[in-house]
Amino acid sequence: MTIQVGDRLPAGQFGVMGTDGPESLSTEELFGGRKVVLFCVPGAFTPTCSARHLPGFVDHADALRERGADTIACLAVNDVFVMSAWGKAGGADGKVVMLADGNGEYARALGLELDASGFGMGMRAQRFSMIVNDGVVTQLNIEPAAGDVGISSAEATLDQLG
């Protein structure tokens, strides 16, 4: 079943790159007591994700924080090394937390998995954004197609934050 507005996020773990290498970050650590803007891309270093989705959140990070976001995080079904490299390449350091869902377990838990086997990418996550307040989804924007960046964009998220 797909996550809905008003639902509490399922418990889970993400991979993040720490100063000494890969670390684990729990959903409680990320979402507990905070307002988090979470956006998800089908794949790091893919054309739409690299040219349109991640850059918007990097460019608008200060404005998102000014409107109440404590944390901005990007999720993808990639390993922690790829997410770290992509974040560095995209200028996300210090602006967007790069979350690895290496096996797609969290995407499945949200009911937002995407079969990209036809593109040689296997199981991934759908493109979406959400605003989460203390672990509860208050806004959810699922793109109708993986290549679309409209309702899940940083600009749309800014409007939702008010």
Catalytic sites, residue numbers: 49
* Adjacent-strand bridge partners of 38: 73, 130
Separation CA 140–CA 161 (nearest Å): 12
User: For residue 128, how far is the Cα from the chain centroid?
Assistant: 8
Helix ranges restricted to H, 27-150: 27-31, 47-48, 54-59, 61-66, 80-89, 105-110
Structural element, H or E, at residue 161: helix 154-161
Q: Which is it for strands 136-142 and 35-40: parallel, antiparallel or unpaired? A: unpaired
The residue with tokens 């509860």 is 136
Separation CA 84–CA 65 (nearest Å): 22
